[in-house]
Chain A
Amino acid sequence: MQKQDKLKDNDIILEIKDLHTYFYNNSKNPVKAVEGINLTLYKKEVLGIVGESGCGKSLTARSILKILPTGAKIAQGSIFFNGEDILTLKQKRLNEIRGKMISMIFQEPSSYLNPVLTVGFQVSETYTAHFPNDKKNALKKTIQIFKEVGIPDPSKRIKNYPHELSGGQKQRVMTAMALINNPDIIIADEPTTSLDVTVQAQIIKLFKDLLKNHSSSIIFITHDLPLVSEIADRIMVMYAGMNVEEAPTKELISKPLHPYTKSLLESIPPITEKWQKLKTIEGQVPDPSEKPAGCPFHPRCIYAEKDCSTKKPYMIEVEKGHYTSCYHYDKI
């Protein structure tokens, strides 16, 4: 997985620059859920986005496809996909990109699958939506992709309705749907959170296998740092709508340069014989509508200094490919 040194600028497939996505619900002041995200995704790469609930990780992903929840709007920024700015594209071109070049896997497969249509139809429809003249092949392709994602007896399963499948199977169907058009980017938004541990392991294995046979890049969004460390090449850590650290997986884990990442790593319970008091991050995750000034993490940070509460941080490249938004990273 050490492709880091090979990464060149012409390998970039997706580039997000200074993305701001706000919620304009009822008050005059928008809730700044995503505030200045920069992200680069290379070809054939797995990028993990890690953060707690409400940190804006899902919203960032949804901004890429412009499928935002009601009230949310992209206020600023640009998203370049193969050189095209998605935010300025016409609806027709956007529909071409959605599902064909960039596809998405969601957390709750049961709520994203239509309960009154067979899973086979739903998957093949994703194909025929982009290749309307190829209806003959759609069924064949569906069966093939079902086989690939490890659904046993695919020719029978395509006739099943979502409720007849288990949670793990449904997530495989979602994966098949995302994969059928061989997209350039797959965005997986917490694909294993609603699954059991043993099924989660199956899905992770599936992702790893798929990486071998497909040329897609994957954005893997999760709150589970250990989980994403198994699959991602690079990890981006988000906190309160901003990215705080970005580095190749190994480096991020062995040498975190942001206090938040460090405390996240430390709060994983170690395997010990006896009870050990766990290291914690004091305080609460800030409400997106009442973010602290300066560095959003400073009220909970043990390294915080005076300037942290006033100066807004920005990403600094400390080592090649390793960015942090902490001014005092040398103290960590």
Chain B
Amino acid sequence: MNDIKNTDCLIRTENISKFFEQKTGLFNSKKEIVRAVENINIHILKGETVGLVGESGCGKTTLGRTILRLIDPTNGNIFFDGNNITSISGKELRKLRRNMQIIFQDPYSSLNPRFKVKHIIAEGLYNFKNELKLDNISIDKIVSEILEKTGLSKDASTKYPHQFSGGQRQRIGIGRAIALNPKFIVCDEPLSALDVSIKSQILNLLHELKKEYKLSYLFISHDLKITASISDRIYIMYLGRIIEELPSSQLFKNPFHPYTKALISAVPEIDSDKRRKRILLEGDVPSPVSIPSGCPFHPRCLKAMEICKSKTPKYLKKGDNHFVACWLYDQNSDSRHKTQDSSKS
């Protein structure tokens, strides 16, 4: 990643990890460490939409919230616009909040049921009233502007969230996120709780807003097609690690990692001619408490080799913006010749 200039990066993470401690057993005697996110290096350029794809429990939500400093990382550094924001607090952190926002998955639990829509959208504006030199009239003006931009009617501002349908609520959530005019928004599965016919509306809206506000997105999702359609670049995550990074145009054409391939093959396809051969993985995603040694994917991998069980693969460049962490693509590895290919396919 040396070819990317620091100045172009809006967000850059340096080996961030987040471990949770979990006490189990009758007397809280057993301590388990949940390695939700481990040694992650990602970057998001200015004006770029980056997709983050993975199955549930792979740590993508944790990563998104860690970048926003809603969760404190255990290790590593986060840079925003070139500044290290890993350990800032108090006033500085509050100031940062203006530039970074989040859109949530569940349009029902993400809006305070006791606030009117106007209040929900304006919450951030009230918080930074003095810094932004706003008065109540200008806040009202911004709110009605946002309602219009997000496709809500003007009288929505005096209603309560429960008076809206899921899609409209998600629009309110988006309105809240753009109210402070941020530079960066984490979209944490913004579509997965919505109805099929509503999803495309919201996706179009997100894209329009991106252009208008010159936003950068981190688009977290488990839906490969939707992610590919909105993102410029995609990270594939498995058990708290990034295993592949590729331009979204390459996702369906030229994936490298066996996990990425399996994910893509699992996408249901309506056109029977376009249906890919299913690569069926065995079992479920292991728990992040006991991450397998070596490559975390090896117990489910159909092409696992001896080395995969013991050594963690390196993250190697394999093309334009295309990186993969898999021993299959590590030509320099001399140990490769020693192991027999136990591929089952």
In the bound complex, residues from chain B placing their C-beta under 8 Å from that of A225 are 196, 270
Kindly supply a per-residue 1/0 record for chain B positions 241-271, scoring 1 wherever the CB is within 8 Å of any chain A CB and 0 otherwise: 0000000010010000000001101111111
Give bound CA distance, A309 to B168, whole Å: 24
Q: Nearest Cβ distance between residue A283 and chain B, in whole angstroms?
A: 9
Residue pair B197, A202 in contact (C-beta under 8 Å): no
Kindly identify, within residues 260 to 300 of chain A, every residue whose CB is under 8 Å from any CB belonging to chain B. 263-265, 267-282, 284-285, 287, 300
Q: How far is the CA of A263 from the CA of B203 in the complex (A)?
A: 15
Chain A nearest Cβ from B320, distance in angstroms: 14
Contact with A along B210-231 (1 / 0, CB 8 A): 0000000000001011101110
Interface size class on chain A is 35 or more
* A264 pairs with B196, CB closer than 8 A: yes
Assess whether B165 is in contact with A166, with CB atoms less than 8 Å apart.
no
Chain B nearest CB from A308 CB (Å) reads 18
Task: For the complex, count residues of B whose C-beta is within 8 A of A.
Answer: 43
Residues 171 to 220 of chain B near chain A (Cβ within 8 Å): 195-201, 203-204, 207
Chain A residue contacts of B166, Cβ below 8 A = 53
Q: What is the bound-complex CA distance between A263 and B201, given in angstroms? A: 12
B28 contacts the other chain (Cβ, under 8 Å)?
Answer: no
Known: A230-B268, A268-B225, A271-B252. A166 touches B201 (CB 8 A): no
Expressed in whole angstroms, the minimum distance between the Cβ of A173 and any Cβ of chain B is 13
Q: Is B331 an interface residue (CB 8 A)?
A: no
A11 at the interface (CB under 8 A from B): no
- The answer to whether A201 and B226 have CB atoms under 8 Å apart is no
CB proximity to A under 8 Å, residues B257-293 = 262-263, 265-272, 275, 278, 280-285
Contact in complex: A284, B168 (CB < 8 Å): yes
Query: B203 — which chain A residues lie within 8 A by C-beta?
Result: 269, 278
Chain B: minimal CB distance from A282 (Å):
7
Q: Is A71 located at the chain interface by the 8 A CB criterion? A: no
* Nearest CB of B to A20, in Å: 23
What are 18 A-B residue pairs whose CB atoms fall within 8 Å in the complex? A52-B195, A167-B284, A196-B284, A198-B266, A201-B281, A202-B280, A202-B281, A205-B280, A230-B269, A264-B197, A267-B200, A268-B225, A268-B270, A271-B228, A273-B249, A281-B197, A285-B197, A285-B198
Q: Which residues of B contact A (CB under 8 A)?
A: 55-56, 165-168, 195-201, 203-204, 207, 222, 224-226, 228-230, 249, 252, 262-263, 265-272, 275, 278, 280-285
Given contacts A202-B282, A230-B268, A300-B197, 10 further A-B contacts (CB under 8 A): A197-B266, A198-B263, A198-B281, A267-B196, A269-B228, A270-B229, A271-B229, A271-B252, A280-B204, A281-B197
CB-based closest 6 A-B pairs: A201-B266, A278-B200, A226-B268, A196-B55, A166-B284, A269-B229
